[in-house]
Structure 1
Amino acid sequence: MNLKNLKKIFTKTALSLALALTISFTVPMASLQAEAAYYSVTPISAVLLSCNGTEVFADADTTTFVKTLAVNTPVQVTGQTSNGFWQVSLDGGIYYISQQALSVAANTTAVRFTSYDVNAALVANAASGKIIYSQGANDKLEPASTTKIMTALLVIEAIEAGQLTLDTPVLTSATAVASLPSDASHVEPRLQAGEILTVDQLLTAMMVSSDCQACNILAEAVAGSVSNFVALMNARATQLGCVNTNFTNPSGYPDKNMYTNAYSLYLITANAYAHPLFKQYFGMASAVLPATNMCAAPRALVNTDALVIPGSAYYNPYVVGGKTGTANRAGQCLVTVASREGKTIITVVLGGKNRTMYDGTVKSSRYYETNRLIELGFANYW
């Protein structure tokens, strides 16, 4: 078969699979599983390249995993199964590879079935605390702005203790904003020294638009200084049972000395989500900060989490809240809570990237893999 015809077959197959996923991401990735008796094979002779994460199976069934191929390995295709696999010849034997895991182009990424395309992944039953799935969940990694979940928890606990109220006005100090570079602000125009906002407005700026300056301002309001607040963060993490965790600032702004892991972020989030006030800010898709003494016009805020934005390619109607984090070393991070039919789960992904997939589309693994984890969590809830 010539390359032109193969590309037609591959493109048609890829588009069909993409359409199926677009119509309903709620179909588990394990839906490719099938007993040998239930599929047929159409003979094809061609060579395709393995993708990053291409998995090899003994049969056209994702429960028969054998190994993962190195990226860009030429693979001799001998057939196409009716249930979504390539039949291939490898090492003198016949094996099977998902049609979402071989490509006509080099340096692409496969849809994975036995793992997730992030450095660490976890999904847990929010009610029982049972871990449904984990991958590298105890590996020491940078959390980026998922750190803000801990900051929000401490602020909300201070409110519940009567130390602050949502209406408490807070003066933005020079020290709160001077220590952060311009890319740490996600409010336009950025907050200024001398500006007065309420605790409610600062929590909104922090959780919706992931503003780092709001974190410092709140830290000073709660503990008198950012350093004092960081000490509270680490003490609280220890109380919650977090391990391999060290916070150095309240915002998650990149610092090689700040680290945690997926399991510890799950513990922090599970505790925070038990507070009704936390839920109020965790799930906001958008908000507006009213005019202040130093900003005459309202500021519009949009959540940095694509899962909660209707119309987004990654929108998931079951997601009730989440917090993103992005930095060069940390990669793409995301902590999410989703609920369906009385089942509530918490997912954590750390170290994701933007990927060019097997079919040429570009996906954010942070969102793509979180949606897979959510479905896995609901399907295996216990």
Structure 2
Amino acid sequence: MMKRKMKKILAGLLCIAAVTVPASGVSAADAEEEAKQSYALPVQSNEVENWPEGPAVYGKSAIVIDADTKAVLYAKNIDDEHYPASITKVMTALLAAENGDLETGRVTISQESVDFLEPGDAYIGMRPGEEISLTDALYGVLLASANEVSYAVAENIGNTLSGTGTGYEKFVAAMNDRAGELGATHTHFVNPHGLQDENHYTSAHDMALISSELFSHPELMEIMQTYEHTIGPTNLETESRTFQQRHEMLVSWNDHYYEYCVGGKTGYTDEAGNTLITLADNGKMHLVCVEMETRGQHIYDDTRSILDYAFENFTRQEVESSVLEQAQEEAHATVTETEPVYVSLPADASQEDLKFETGEENGESMLYLTYEGQTVGKAKADVDEKAVARKEKEEQGTASVLDTIKNVFEGRQWIVIVAAAAVIIVAVVILILVFRRRRRRSFLRTSRRQKRLERQRRRRMKRAARRSRRRGRKRW
């Protein structure tokens, strides 16, 4: 009995150490220097015109999105690929909740789920052959970050999925499929726990999209908001196992407590650094914050800073009917949503500034509402593809002409064109001068001829007058 107690105490300490304390592979001085370099990296959302300026953070990647509209409110290298560490377990828990029964589901711990563990990996001391409820297993996954439980959940849920391979393999394949359905484009999972593998990676944007789905699962939100959970005696263990919340923004007496935090998941490995998912709700907006590859002790302060920034500078607004009518006219898209459509806009922005684009997600036509080039809302829609194609063709034609003009003046062709134009202008000027000169000569010749004829006419008249006078004298 005493040996079992000591084992459980040791397991708990190892779990705490693995989740909360950086391993010795990265020195504190090196971590702080790397953090300073990351702090200096640009924040891309600050480069958007008329967008509120957000704070710098120490993570190499960071994002805040509105979980309802999927609008990106804060963006720092959001599509860069990183090792996720234990925030992977959010995908594991989500897939288990969607495919399992939390009321009746059971999870059996296999030999493989225990044997793969290495010293320092987070676990809660489960033994091969033990059975626990799926709900208890998900508490172990999300609160204790227990790797052997994550492995076992994947095996058991995977056995219920269609496809080829072992239950574990089918589960991992389903993780990637589901991530793609939720919009992930820079994610490749190879395990359900997040322990280091160079082929296991994701991005801050992808994890934010995945995590936003948690708001649709109150059973998972309840698990994440729990401070402490106890797994009672099992078929092989007579004593209970108790573990606590690791996300410090959820612990009311912790210095990092955040009043709007309603869920999240921590992660750490030497290679991944600190990773953190935080869900927040102030009664007006549901936000998801993800920060990845953070060194040092900055991740909670960073998270608070950019969540405050988002709450203070953005509002979630129902789209006005006149705007949807404008979308129908300009984008040839008729919204089919039965619920109101929302956008997330800077507090001083107007819906009159919204633009419209169309696209497709998971085989469904979509209307995207944009502000300053950023997607701030979307809705399912019926799209007149022929009208859109005509519009795109017209725009491409206009763009082609403009591009040609731009290319001409950006390249060396403009020199040839200017030279040719100059030659033409000079030739025209010369022709004009020659024509004028010939015309003047012709005028002068005509003028001289007319004067000569006029002199001759006058001389003839004078001679006739003299002859007439002489004849008159003779008759007299």
Tell me which residue corresponds to 1:227.
Answer: 169
> TM-score, normalized by length of structure 1?
0.65
Report the Cα distance in structure 2 between the residues aligned to 1:238 and 1:128, rounded to whole angstroms: 18
Match of 2:265 in 1: 323
Given the alignment, which residue of 28, 33, 36 partners 1:52? Answer: 36
Question: What is the CA deviation profile of residues 38-96 of structure 1, one whole-angstrom value per residue up to 9, with x for unaligned ones?
Answer: xxxxxxxxxxxxx93688xxxxxxx9xxxxxxxxxxxxxxxxxxxxxxxxxxxxxxxxx
Of the candidates 289, 312, 316, which is equivalent to residue 379 of structure 1? 312
Q: Secondary structure at the match of 1:52?
A: helix
Identify if the C-alpha distance between structure 1 residues 281 and 346 changes in structure 2 by more than 3 Å, giving closer, same or farther.
same
Residue 365 and residue 170 in structure 1: after superposition, are their counterparts in 2 closer, same or farther (change >3 A)? Answer: same
SS of 2:176's equivalent in the other structure is helix
Q: Which amino acid aligns with 2:272?
A: A
- Decide whether the 8 Å contact of 1:144 with 1:327 is kept in 2: yes
Deviations 1:293-322 (A, max 9, x none): 222221111112111112212111210001
Letter of the structure 2 residue corresponding to residue 268 of structure 1: I
- Mapping of residues 65-76 of structure 1, within 5 Å: none
Alignment of 1:160-175 (within 5 A): 164-175=101-112
- Give the drift of 1:374: 1.3
Please list, as runs of the form range in 1=range in 2, the aligned pairs for 1:231-310 lying within 5 A after superposition: 231-310=173-252
User: In 2, Cα distance between the equivalents of 1:176 and 1:249?
Assistant: 12
1:123 aligns with 2:58: no
Amino acid at match of 1:222: I
Cα distance in 2 for partners of 1:339, 1:329 equals 31
Aligned to 1:205: 140
Give how far 1:284 is off: 1.9
Which has more helix, going by share of residues? Answer: 2
Q: CA deviation at 1:229?
A: 0.9
User: Percent identity among equivalent residues?
Assistant: 27
More contact order relative to length (CA 8 Å, sep ≥ 6)? 1
**How far has the Cα of 1:341 moved from its partner?**
3.3
Deviations 1:259-290 (A, max 9, x none): 00000001101123212222122222221111
Distance 1:165 1:340 in 2: 28
Looking at structure 2, the residues matched to 346 and 202 of structure 1 have their Cα atoms a distance apart, in angstroms, of 24
Q: How does 1:8-87 map to 2 (within 5 A)?
A: 52=36
Gaps of 5+ in 2: 1-34, 41-45, 47-52, 160-166, 316-476
**Of 116, 128, 132, which aligns to 1:193?**
128
Between the aligned partners of 1:342 and 1:285, the Cα distance in structure 2 is: 25
Structure 1 CA distance for aligned equivalents of residues 241 and 157 of structure 2: 24
- The amino acid across from 1:320 in the alignment is V
Q: Secondary structure at the match of 1:324?
A: strand
- Tell me, which stretches of 5 or more residues in structure 1 are unaligned? 1-50, 56-62, 64-111, 355-363
The alignment status of 1:366 with 2:299, answered yes or no, reads yes
Query: How many Å apart are 1:140 and its aligned residue?
Result: 0.6
Asked if 1:152 corresponds to 2:152, the answer is no
CA distance in 2, matches of 1:213, 1:321: 22
Cα separation, 1, equivalents of 2:147 and 2:103: 19
Letter in structure 2 aligned against 1:138: D
Do the aligned residues in 1 keep the contact of 2:36 with 2:58 (CA within 8 Å)? Answer: no
Residue aligned with 1:133, SS: strand
Aligned residues: 262
Decide which structure has the larger Cα Rg and report it. Answer: 2
Distance 1:378 1:246 in 2: 31
Q: CA deviation at 1:141?
A: 0.5
Q: Distance in 2 between matches of 1:344 and 1:168?
A: 30
> Does the aligned pair in 1 maintain the 2:183–2:206 contact within 8 Å?
yes
Deviation at 1:114, TM superposition (A): 4.3
Task: After TM superposition, list the pairs within 5 Å mapping 1:106-117 onto structure 2.
Answer: 114-117=55-58
SS of residue in 1 equivalent to 2:235: coil
Kept in 2, the 8 Å contact 1:145–1:252? The answer is yes
- Aligned partners of 1:280, 1:132: CA distance in 2, in Å? 26
**Residue in 2 aligned with 1:107?**
none
Secondary structure (helix, strand or coil) at the match of 1:183 reads coil
Which structure features the higher share of strand residues?
A: 1
Q: Residue 125 of structure 1 contacts residue 377 of structure 1 at CA under 8 Å; is this kept in 2?
A: no
